[in-house]
Amino acid sequence: MNHSLYVHIPFCKHRCHYCDFITTAGRESELPLYADALVKEIRIANQYTEKIPLHSIYFGGGTPSLMALKDYEKVLEAIRQSYALTEECEISLEANPGTIQADYLKGLHALGFNRISIGVQSTDSFDLARLDRVHSIRDVLTSVSGARRAGFRNINLDLIFGLPWQDLESWRNSLQRAIDLQPEHFSLYSLIIEEGTALYRWHQRGLIEPQDQDLQADMYELAMELLAEAGYQHYEISNWAKENDGVDLRCRHNLQYWLNDPYIGVGAGAQGYFEHLRLVNTPGLTDYITRMQGAGGADWTPTNTPATISSEFVDPETRMMDEMMLGLRLIRQGVGAKNFHRRYNASMEAVFEAELNRLVGLGLLEWVGEGESKRIRLTHRGTMVGNQVFMAFV
């Protein structure tokens, strides 16, 4: 089975007002040390006599585009030497507008990156200022055109909706301007005001209120409409891919998560799911670097690196629940009954009989296809309340 590799780059120029991700601000000078630590953790995979096959590699953050090309060269070399990359391996980088200049983009492409995910968040300057993003609309335009000129044929744009001050019209305009840039892929997220963020403190002080749920639902429906009109296939709750002459432009790396397939995570705060173990690395940047610098001996494996702080076996019952919760996110595809049986030697209809009957009865799930292709998937109504559906399988 093909695997995926996630590499976490927890560095940012500063902390945005809504962000609770595992990242640091103002510590970019430590990036070369961090890259060396990553190389050490990646090389641990060499312990296996047969190399682990990879069909996707994803550098997420943080702001991975803050890392220098020479550091990426080292990290990618370690990956290529330690894993068996498929010929068409998807290699993605998350990038923030304003951090990716033309030469940098060309350098990334020359190193083998073939997908770039740009954290646009909004094309409205008022939104960007309120979210405390460091980039401007001009940066968005130059990033996308620069990526095209560098040779990227698979560009994703991340956008956020449901901002406390946003109305339907401003969301329509923000999304439409992004559509006009003609990326191959969109990831759209509704804003959640997370504890510990500046937005949360404003909310506590009564300065902002979370967006009205009905308006958020209207924004989501509007996005579905606009993106369908523009030729994008809505393939996952929050993700759309262009339908391009039969070329599959869905994010292969994220599909690995939704299909409940194995992935290895390296870096501070990275998580993995490998050999039926849920693995978590230390989130502390200094701790991560120190642990990797002190790593000696040859006893480490990808399921137990010096950075691992938690390793939990996922039993078959939990795996089956995960399969449903994750797989149902795939709107058209859903979860295949035959595939489920092949994986767990159990019938989905029998294991989740009560849940499936109830959700089908409520019009939130539907059975489609027959025989090999029989599968359960969300209805339109179910898509609108996806989280409630997924929680039924916990």
**Site residues, ligand SF4 (CB under 6 A):** 12, 15-16, 19, 21, 23, 61-63, 96, 119
Task: Pick the closer one to ligand SF4 by CB: 119 or 334.
Answer: 119
Residues 6 or more apart whose CB falls under 8 angstroms from that of 125 comprise 136, 137
Residue 204 CB partners (closer than 8 Å, separation 6+): none
d(CA 254, CA 352): 25
Helices (H), the chain: 31-43, 69-82, 102-111, 125-131, 137-150, 168-179, 198-204, 213-229, 252-258, 285-293, 316-327, 337-344, 348-351, 353-361, 380-384, 386-391
Q: How far is the CB of 12 from ligand SF4 (least distance, A)?
A: 3
Taking the complex as a whole, the smallest distance from the CB of residue 255 to ligand SF4 amounts, in Å, to 22
* Cβ neighbours of residue 379 closer than 8 Å, sequence gap 6 or more: 363, 364, 365, 366
In the bound complex, what is the minimum distance in angstroms from residue 32's beta carbon to ligand SF4?
Answer: 19
In the bound state with ligand SF4, the residue whose beta carbon lies nearer, of 132 and 221, is 132
Residue 96 or 211 with smaller CB distance to ligand SF4: 96
Q: Shortest Cβ contact with ligand SF4: which residue?
A: 19
Question: Could you give phi then psi for residue 244, rounded to 5 degrees?
Answer: -125, 95
What letter would DSSP give residue 90? E
Q: What angle do CA 200, 201, 207 make, to 5 degrees?
A: 95
Given the complex with ligand SF4, which of 23 and 305 has the nearer CB atom?
23
User: Toward ligand SF4, which CB reaches closer, 119 or 327?
Assistant: 119
Q: Are 188 and 178 in contact (CB under 8 A)?
A: no
CB of 8 to ligand SF4, least distance (A): 11
Which of residues 25 and 314 has its CB atom nearest to ligand SF4 in the complex? Answer: 25
- Alpha-carbon distance of 269 to 280, in angstroms, equals 7
Shortest separation between residue 374's beta carbon and ligand SF4, angstroms: 41
CB of 274 to ligand SF4, least distance (A): 25
CB of 109 to ligand SF4, least distance (A): 22
Residue number with CB closer to ligand SF4 (23 or 256) = 23
CB of 328 to ligand SF4, least distance (A): 27
* Least gap, CB of 300 to ligand SF4 (angstroms): 28
Q: Which is nearer to ligand SF4, 131 or 255 (CB)?
A: 131
* Cβ-contact 381, 220 below 8 angstroms: no
**Nearer to ligand SF4 among residue 21 and residue 344 (C-beta):** 21
Q: Pick the closer one to ligand SF4 by CB: 121 or 256.
A: 121
Q: What b/e string do you get for 8-25 counting C-beta neighbours within 10 Å, with b at 16 or more?
A: bbbbbeebbbbbeebbbe
Compute φ and ψ for 375, nearest 5 degrees. Answer: -150, 160
Residue 303: DSSP 8-state: T
Residue type, 3: H
Instruction: Say if residue 371 is preceded by a cis peptide, omega within 30 of 0.
Output: no
Q: Which residues contact 359 (CB under 8 A, 6 or more apart)?
A: 365, 382, 389, 392
Smallest distance from ligand SF4 to CB 66, Å: 9
Given the DSSP bridges, would you call strands 53-61 and 84-95 parallel, antiparallel or unpaired? Answer: parallel
Within 8 A by CB and 6+ apart from 193, the residues are 18, 164, 199, 200, 203, 208, 210
